[in-house]
């Protein structure tokens, strides 16, 4: 059975037919960017369908949480 594609070498070297394809660092980065953009699109789409007061309240809660986290990180680690 010939499992080789049309791009085989002329000497019929079929050693690459059973190799597992690997992902390079650049391909992994591109995959991460595509996934992040897709997730951002889903989240922005969900935010676009929420009422404005609810969206602003959620944004305020998240902003306050981030501000508290920032302050605690800045003041809590000065001794170490």
Which tens digits make up the pLDDT trace of 18-68? 777 787 888 889 999 999 999 998 988 888 899 999 999 999 999 999 999
Integer Cα distance of 35 and 49 in angstroms: 22
- Widest pairwise Cα distance in the chain: 70
Residue 4 phi, psi (nearest 5): -85, 145
Work out the burial of residue 55: count CB atoms within 10 Å of its CB; fewer than 13 is exposed, 13-18 middle, 19 or more buried. middle
- Is pTM beyond 0.85? Reply is no
């Amino acid at each position: 059975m010939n499992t080789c594609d049309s791009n085989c070498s002329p000497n019929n070297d079929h050693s690459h037919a059973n190799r597992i394809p690997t992902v390079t660092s650049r391909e992994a980065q591109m995959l991460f960017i595509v996934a992040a953009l897709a997730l951002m699109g889903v989240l922005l789409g969900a935010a676009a369908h929420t009422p404005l007061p609810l969206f602003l309240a959620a944004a305020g809660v998240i902003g306050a949480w981030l501000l508290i986290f920032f302050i605690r990180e800045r003041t809590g680690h000065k001794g170490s």
